[in-house]
Structure 1
Amino acid sequence: MSDLLEARQVDTATRILDAAEVLFVEHGFEATSMRMITQRAEVNLAAVNYHFGSKDALFQGVFTRRLTPLTRLAVQNLDKLEAEAGPNAPSVDAIMHAFVDAALDIAHDPKRGGVIFVRLLSRTFVESHPALRESLPRHYEELVARYAQATAKALPHIDSNELQWRLSFAFSAIFNAFAGNNILRLFVSDPVVNARDPRLIATYLVPFVVAGLIAPATAKGA
């Protein structure tokens, strides 16, 4: 009986996480109410409080259960890329593809969250909720450091301060794009941009990001 009870509890927690994940993507964290989550998961509020304690804790639970596979895969892609390059620095294009390819692999694997999680991850960075500000550095420390080091090695002529600016712009563009935000809809009634197809996004996104990273260095004092 205890094994059956434990299995039911795991199933309930998973249903809550799955429901919250979809709702956070569709409506954002602030606009998603606990009532919306309980209705979608078909559980009562007591079950949510039992498993997670609070909405903030639930948000962190949704985020962290999917984050590990993405960070692990992105670092593995970079490990492989650097091993193949040997003493040479991989190209910036290859470095950006290593990261974006990891996101695409997750986006096409429902068991690891699929496209829903990629959009949640991107939306999290765009909205930057306080619930994750303390936990993000712990989860992303190795990933950010590795990609920053690889890019610096590929662009030794770019000042470290300017490179940080470029990386900030580059990853902002990546996360915003995968979040499905189509800014053109504010200005064009029927834009041709398909902001819901991850592979199509990557096709146009990577060359754009790479062009910004490898652009001529800004003159000192400008």
Structure 2
Amino acid sequence: MAQKDTAKCILDAAEELFSERGFAETSLRNITTKAGVNLAAVNYHFGSKKSLIQAVFARFLTPFSENLAEALEAYKSRQADDGIELHGLLVLLSGVALRSGGTRPQRLDIFMRLLGLAYTQGQGHLRKFLKSEYGPVFQQYMALVTAATPELSDADRFWRIHFMLGATMFTLSGVDSLTAMAEHDLGEPTNVAQVVDQLLPFLGAGLKAPALKKSV
């Protein structure tokens, strides 16, 4: 097996097992068994389990961040004419996410499961890696979101962004089951893009909702 193919097999196996079992519950032996390689191959290509976890995230996030940077440049070039509008920013982000899945749209729900695990499991090294590698482009995006929501305090915006992220992760990490339920209950087939179309107005309304009055 060529080195490039070996690395891809390891990443494929790690991505699937991490998303199904979690990071701590998945051993390198589990990964090598599924990938059909030995431990030396993992050490050669990735060096450690932590580096392998980071590589799994980078496989999705590197093209995503590159596409997002390009989309933001195009958006900012139109900004003077159209102004900053929250729904447009949400549509921009969702479109980039869907495109970043390439020919495998199901990779988006796998990535959302992984992202949820990054929040709920103790992976401090991963958060540092994500901030270091992808922080600048997300800071650009968040600066536009801040400009589109001047009525919100920093605290309100912080909480609402994280609530939005939680709703998105919950929805998309189980999108196969959700679309099957929708087809059964509504009698219409639904794809991932249509689920996102339903999700965006909900997220935008939540972010723009009037702030609660603080009790005295």
Partner of 2:187: none
1:79 to 38, 50, 73: 73
Q: CA deviation at 1:14?
A: 1.9
Measured in 2, the distance between the counterparts of 1:135 and 1:90 equals: 30
Partner of 1:121: 111
Measured in 2, the distance between the counterparts of 1:169 and 1:193 equals: 27
1:96 to 80, 90, 98: 90
The one-letter code of the counterpart of 1:61 is A
Q: What whole-Å deviation, never above 9, does each CA across 1:111-135 have from its counterpart, x for those lacking one?
A: xxx3354234322331124141221
The one-letter code of the counterpart of 2:46 is F
Identity of aligned residues (%): 33
The 3 A distance-change label for structure 1 pair 12 and 182 is: closer
The one-letter code of the counterpart of 2:113 is R
Q: Is the 8 A contact 1:16 1:37 kept in 2?
A: yes
* 72-81 or 174-183: bigger deviation: 174-183
The one-letter code of the counterpart of 1:175 is M
The one-letter code of the counterpart of 2:182 is V
Q: What whole-Å deviation, never above 9, does each CA across 1:175-194 have from its counterpart, x for those lacking one?
A: 3322227999xxxxx94389
Measured in 2, the distance between the counterparts of 1:158 and 1:133 equals: 26
Partner of 2:168: 174
2:130 to 125, 131, 136: 136
Q: Is the 8 A contact 1:34 1:45 kept in 2?
A: yes
The one-letter code of the counterpart of 2:62 is T
Q: What whole-Å deviation, never above 9, does each CA across 1:75-133 have from its counterpart, x for those lacking one?
A: 322222232131653211111111111111122x13xxx33542343223311241412
Runs of 4+ deviating beyond 3 Å: 114-117, 181-184, 190-194
Partner of 2:41: 47
* 67-76 or 91-100: bigger deviation: 67-76
Secondary structure at the counterpart of residue 25 of structure 2: coil
**Structure 1 portions without partners, runs of 5+:** 1-6, 185-189
Partner of 1:24: 18
The one-letter code of the counterpart of 1:37 is I
Q: Is the 8 A contact 1:70 1:106 kept in 2?
A: yes
Measured in 2, the distance between the counterparts of 1:77 and 1:164 equals: 23
Q: Is the 8 A contact 1:38 1:48 kept in 2?
A: yes
Measured in 1, the distance between the counterparts of 2:22 and 2:183 equals: 22
Partner of 1:149: 143
Measured in 2, the distance between the counterparts of 1:221 and 1:193 equals: 44
Q: CA deviation at 1:215?
A: 1.1
Partner of 1:66: 60
Secondary structure at the counterpart of residue 157 of structure 1: coil
Secondary structure at the counterpart of residue 182 of structure 2: coil
Aligned alpha-carbon RMSD (Å): 2.8
TM-score, normalization: structure 1?
Answer: 0.79
